[in-house]
Amino acid sequence: MRFLFKTDYEDDIKLFPHSGYVVSYGTLLAFLLIAPFVLSSYLVSQLVFVCIYATVGVGLMILTGFTGQASLGHAAFLAIGAYTAAYLQQFNVPFPVYFLAGGLLTGVVGALVGFPALRLTGIYLVIATISFGFIVEEVLARWESVTHGNEGMRVKTLSLFGQAVPQNGPAFYYLCLAVLILTIVGALNLLRSPTGRAFVAIRDSETAARSMGVNVSLYKVKSFAISAAITGLAGVLFAHKLSFISPEMFTLQLSIEFIIVILIGGAFSLHGAVLGAIFLVMIDPFLTYLKDDLPGIIAGIAATFGADSIAAGKIHDNVAAIASANGLKGAIYGVIIVLFVLFEPLGLYGRWLKIKLFFQLFPLYKRATFKRQKIYVKSERNR
């Protein structure tokens, strides 16, 4: 195993602690850059969604993972970004301007949400953010002079410096990738600055943070604003990717999906946001695959174990019926959430860390290293 020898604080906060990081992230970046040339256009389109969801995931991770403030209203922030883009686009505002305006406006709204949220913790905060989401959804549906109500808004093709960037082309993919990478680097820098340290201190114990001189209210509002602004930027890209937006896209369902992103990816790390986004977006192609190929595979297995052709055909039809049933996606979501909460609370990134540690410490790895403590008193109230 590798031992890092740190001599000063600069070593401790380096973005790339050792050369291994440069190699692995360089390889990943190289793969992502050539992806549009080797992958099918469908998969590239999914990758764009991965980038957008991961950007939102990073925003949500700053708020929920690092500041400890749960939010089930992030679809509303995404909606504000998307609608700002669609609205400003009508007046021929150039992309860089409305891109930043979308982020800025959403950030301001996020700060406004952050103020009432100061007094709320735990479940109350979750409920308040859900209500915020509903109210925004309803405002979008009713404020017809700006949002065109339930008819929705068409978003024109993005044009950057006079060049059209169609939402299915590789250029749009590179744009989303660049936004994601810049967001991640920005978030990493934020997290190693005093602000980021204050966020983590608030998450771990508000009282302790306050007694160490952290202005809890200020940093909570900051965290809300930053998280919302990042989500707003993603919203602009989201609007362009879909090229049509309407209020019913930004429901509680979407907010829950964002929470699933950071839950599955693993709270407390930016890697988690990206892994979770990959997982969530790639469920769709996987389900399509399941619908097409799974019945044949299962019937084949049954046939090898001695089922005759009629029985195998029946199995094929039954499996096909289940795999193509409506609402299967919801059931799979549900099962996945429950399984992750029960068995993999640290998410995919946590699993990766466990595997890494297992090999580093082999044969001395202890399961208890990652065990969480159970608290049976009113823990959340006393924190």
Partner 1 sequence: MLDFVQQLVSGIALGCVYGLIALGFVLIYKATEVVNFAQGDLMMLGGFFAFTFIGMLGLNYWLGFAGAVIAMALFGMLAERVVVRPILGYPQFSIIMATIGLGYFLRSVVGMIWGTDDFKIETPFSDGVLRIGSLVLAYDKLSVIAATIILCALLYLFFNRTTLGTAMRASSENMLAAYYMGIPVKRVVSIVWAIAAAVATAAGVLLAPITFIHSNVGLVLGLKAFPAAVLGGFGSIPGAVVGGVLIGVIESMAGFYLPQGWKDVAPYIVLLVVLLLKPEGLFGVHMRKKV
N-to-C CA span, the chain: 37
Pull the structure tokens for residue 82: 């998307």
Query: Is 111 one of the binding residues for partner 1 (CB under 8 A)?
Result: no
Which residues of 177-311 form beta strands (DSSP E)?
244-245
Q: Measured over all CA atoms, what is the biggest interatomic distance in the chain, rounded to whole angstroms?
A: 74
Residues ≥6 apart with Cβ < 8 Å to 178: none
Strand, coil or helix: 95: helix
19 binds partner 1 (CB under 8 A): no
User: Contact between 170 and partner 1 (CB under 8 A)?
Assistant: no
DSSP for residue 63: I
Among 30, 218, 325, 361, binds partner 1 (CB under 8 A): 325
Q: In the beta sheet, which residues pair with residue 159? A: 164
Q: State residue 226 phi and psi, 5-degree precision.
A: -65, -45
DSSP 305-330: TT--HHHHHHHHHHHHHHHT-TTHHH
Query: Least distance from C-beta 273 to partner 1, angstroms?
Result: 16
Q: Does 263 bind partner 1 (CB under 8 A)?
A: yes
Which one, 22 or 338, has the nearer CB to partner 1?
338
Burial of 1 (0-12, 13-18, 19+ CB in 10 A): exposed
To the nearest 10 degrees (0 to 180), the angle between helices 252-265 and 74-89 is 120
80 near 134, Cβ under 8 Å? no
Question: Contact with partner 1 (CB under 8 A): which of 12, 138, 292, 317?
Answer: 138
Is 49 one of the binding residues for partner 1 (CB under 8 A)? no
Using CB under 8 A, pick the residue from 116, 166, 285, 296 that binds partner 1.
Answer: 116
Residue 334 CA from chain centroid, whole number: 17
Q: Does 256 bind partner 1 (CB under 8 A)?
A: yes
Give CA–CA dist 238/19, Å, rounded.
35
Tell me which stretch binds partner 1 (CB under 8 A): 133-141, 183-191, 213-221, 350-358.
133-141
Interface with partner 1 (CB under 8 A), residue from 20, 166, 194, 330: 330
Of these, 28, 301, 338, 355, which contacts partner 1 (CB under 8 A)?
Answer: 338
Contact 140, 131 (CB under 8 A): no
Instruction: Assess 334 for contact with partner 1 (CB under 8 A).
Output: yes
Find the shortest distance in angstroms from Cβ 153 to partner 1: 18
Q: Is 142 in the site for partner 1 (CB under 8 A)?
A: yes
For position 318 contacting partner 1 by CB under 8 A, the verdict is no
Q: Nearer to partner 1 by C-beta: 192 or 383?
A: 383
If one asks whether residue 112 binds partner 1 (CB under 8 A), the answer comes out as: no
Query: Quick one: 127 or 301, whose CB is closer to partner 1?
Result: 127
Our finding on whether 145 is near partner 1 (CB under 8 A) is no
Q: Could you say which of 32, 70, 100, 307 contacts partner 1 (CB under 8 A)?
A: 70
Cα–Cα dist 383/360, whole Å: 35
Cβ atoms within 10 A of the Cβ of 143, count? Answer: 13
CB of 80 to partner 1, least distance (A): 17
Packed helices 170-191 and 41-60: angle between N→C axes, nearest 10 degrees = 20
Window of 112-120, 157-165, 189-197, 275-283 that interacts with partner 1 by CB under 8 A:
112-120
**34 belongs to the binding site for partner 1 (CB under 8 A):** no
CB of 152 to partner 1, least distance (A): 17
Q: Which chain residues interact with partner 1 by CB under 8 A?
A: 70, 116, 119-120, 122-124, 126-128, 130-132, 134-135, 138, 141-142, 207, 252, 256, 259, 263, 325-331, 333-338, 341-342, 345, 372, 374-383
